[in-house]
Chain A
Amino acid sequence: MTSFTLISHLYIDILQLSSHFHWLAQLQASDSLQRGIFTNITTPKIINGVLSILFAYAILRIVQVVADWLSEQVPRRFRLVVKQSIPFFKGLIIVVVVSHLLNLFVYLSARNVLALSSATAVALGFAFKDLISSIIAGIMALFEVTYRMGDRVQIGDHYGEVIGYGLRGIRLQTPDDNIVNIPHSKNWTEAISNANSGQLEAQVLTDFYLDHDIDVELVMQILYQVAYTSKYTQLKLPIAVQMEETLWGSHFKLRAYPMDARDEFSYKTDLIRRAKQVFAKYGITYPKPPIEDNFSNK
């Protein structure tokens, strides 16, 4: 037999053999291979995603601007209601757009969500822990109502009105017209002092320091009347005069509420100015704090 004949016979034998193992030749294309986390990312999807983000950002800005404008146009009674609705609207918009993006780019199966959240947790745990801490604190503050839009709060050394409630922190407008950004994470570590807790009125404390020899009853009467006759005073809320003694004089504290917490400093000025006019009329004197005697030891 020639070699060609031998090879031909061998080839035919191999073919006949392989016909018994036909199952090896068939490939199961789709059933055995598993899906990836991300969907098929196409150009239209990317454009959709980018436009969604831009649109959401525009809506957030519009909501903030419109709500800020509207809150100053409506009567005082509705001002805080309008301001306090801003974080909820913003939260809603963010939730909607994030859901849309996830739906667009991610296969939301249980396995994929688990894989995604694990990866996210690792990344966030190291890189963005402060940001996430602030976001979670902000969400907690919404439910615990630690502060709201329009509230006058003291956080650390900063006091002012909450004029912005963002994802990461709040913006305070101080009496000096400065804007201070304070991350929500301060909620975990610092005490937050809230003067009005969603109400229009906040108590104003005005201190008066007078000589020991004054007529106490007259002074208390004057202070009550000064508060009662101020154009700013909210008469539905109590007015109180307290007194303490110090070494060098008597310390009077007048506690009263203006109709609008924003008038806090104008109110205090009005009370002090008119009280001093009446004190002058009655010859009520002020104490002289003791001068340190620097020469006595020499």
Chain B
Amino acid sequence: MPGDTLKDLPRSTTNKLIKRIETLPTHPTHQSVVQIALEEALSTWRENETANSLVILGKPIEGISQTLQETLIIYKSEVLEILNPLPQSIQLTDSSAITAKLKQAFEPRAASEDEHRGKRQIVVIPDLSWYFLRCVQGWEGVTYLRDLVMKDHSRFWLIGCNQWTWQYLSYVCQIDAYFEQVQQLPTVSGEEIQAWLAPIVEEIAIDFIEDESTKNGQKNKSESYFDRLGDLALGINAVAAQLWLYSLKYLSSDPEANSLKEEILGKIQHTTPTLPDLPKLTADDRYLLFSLLLHGQITLPCLALTLGETESIVQSQVQMLLRSGVIWRQRELLMVNPAHYPRLRWELVHNNFFIEED
């Protein structure tokens, strides 16, 4: 109607939606792929004890650890015991301390092995990228885990890893030579993203508005919207969720209403999803962002170590990137904003960074 304008959601609403997205379960497509791969790998292990591992690779901004944990909850077996000995993430700048923590987590297990002789065990390493740093001797922890897997054939090892980390570790310590069974998490389609986001869409009763991208008589508006969302997000649900959030506006019948007010004065609607613009990046920004994507999430001192720079220099760069929204900080951990991942990936590929081809 004349006078109606689309406005950005209030910050409180956006924050609520972000928290709601975080509570969404892992995508069912990913869970079923992990489940099928795990069953095949376990069956192979029963026949050949040395094939005692399965590596699940995900994109740098996918929560691979969450995928493994949620899949294993669903996957029940009376003959298998699931072990999660490792802490969430070890953010230490001393690589030998990382290895010590890992040893601490695993060595008591050896002593109590006799108690569980009846059941075969699946040991979960939620995300291998948490236990390495790009610095001299920074992958000692990974080497320790690798040797443990090679020696201990009595247990099956389910290992999650960031795809970029896996490729890096393949270059530096040839880790891919030790693990034969590797499963890549697949991309998801627009339809699958729509089904995954449906609970939130229904909760806030969102409408689709008519615009150029959805004026296609052969598809309905929501299908076209989510197909476009899936394409922009490169089939990654974490990216799709953020782009979906950015595309939400509310139709204000009062143009002078303050958009920062708690209450939304109008109905929330989708607009055409688009990729947010990246700010102009310097060469140092690219090195920093690549390091962030290589580690998934990392503290400032560890990030400075991986860049070979002092914390004060890195801190100023981090502040600029936080301000521009390219990166986030959650509880001292820095990570790339998933919405910026597609453009950032393109930028890094075309600036000669080695990145796994999709």
Contact = CB atoms under 8 A, between A and B. Distances in A.
Contacts of A200: 352
B277 to A, nearest CB: 15
Contacts of A77: 350-352
Contact of A225 (B136, B283, B350): B136
Nearest to A224: B172
Interface string A219-236: 000100110111110111
Given A231-B287, A231-B291, A235-B168, A75 B350 contact: yes
A241 B286 CA distance: 28
B137 A235 contact: no
Given A231-B306, A235-B172, A270-B308, 16 more contacts: A75-B350, A75-B351, A77-B350, A77-B351, A225-B137, A229-B135, A229-B136, A229-B172, A229-B306, A231-B134, A231-B308, A232-B287, A236-B354, A260-B283, A260-B351, A273-B308
B353 A228 contact: no
Given A235-B171, A273-B308, A229 B134 contact: yes
Interface string B341-357: 00000010011111000
A274 to B, nearest CB: 6
A231 B307 CA distance: 6
A270 B354 CA distance: 19
Interface of A: 74-78, 200-201, 222, 225-226, 228-232, 234-236, 259-260, 263, 270, 273-274, 278
B138 interface: yes
Contacts of B137: 225
A79 to B, nearest CB: 9
Nearest to A78: B350
B136 A274 contact: yes
A274 B351 contact: no
Contacts of A230: 308
Q: Which of the listed residues B171, B283, B352 has the most CB atoms from chain A within 10 Å of its own CB?
A: B352
The size bracket of the interface on B is 20 to 34
B136 A76 contact: no
B180 to A, nearest CB: 23
A225 B95 CA distance: 13
24 contacts: A75-B350, A75-B351, A77-B350, A200-B352, A222-B136, A225-B172, A228-B171, A228-B172, A229-B134, A229-B135, A229-B172, A229-B308, A230-B308, A231-B134, A231-B291, A231-B307, A234-B354, A235-B172, A236-B354, A259-B353, A260-B351, A274-B136, A274-B308, A278-B136
A225 B283 CA distance: 23
Contacts of A229: 134-136, 138, 172, 306, 308
Nearest to B168: A235
B354 to A, nearest CB: 5
A141 B306 CA distance: 42
A232 B287 CA distance: 8
A260 B291 CA distance: 17
A234 B172 contact: no
Contacts of A263: 283
Contacts of B287: 231-232
B166 to A, nearest CB: 13
B171 A76 contact: no
A226 B137 CA distance: 9
Contacts of A274: 136, 308
Interface in B304-358: 306-308, 347, 350-354
A236 B138 CA distance: 20
A17 to B, nearest CB: 96
Contacts of B138: 229
Contacts of B347: 75
Interface in B131-154: 134-138
Contacts of B354: 234-236
A260 B352 contact: yes
A236 B355 CA distance: 10
B172 A259 contact: no
B136 A259 contact: no
Interface in B5-27: none
Contacts of A235: 168, 171-172, 354
Interface string B142-185: 00000000000000000000000000100110000000000000
A70 to B, nearest CB: 14
Interface string B27-40: 00000000000000
Contact of B350 (A76, A260, A278): A76
Nearest to A226: B136
Contact of A76 (B168, B172, B307, B352): B352
Nearest to A228: B172
Contacts of B308: 229-231, 270, 273-274
Contacts of B350: 74-78
Q: Which of the listed residues B136, B291, B353 has the most CB atoms from chain A within 10 Å of its own CB?
A: B136
A183 to B, nearest CB: 33
A206 B34 CA distance: 45
A278 B308 CA distance: 12
A278 B96 CA distance: 14
Contacts of A232: 287
B291 to A, nearest CB: 7
Contacts of A76: 350-352
Contacts of B290: 231
Contacts of B168: 235
Interface string B290-308: 1100000000000000111
A263 B351 CA distance: 13
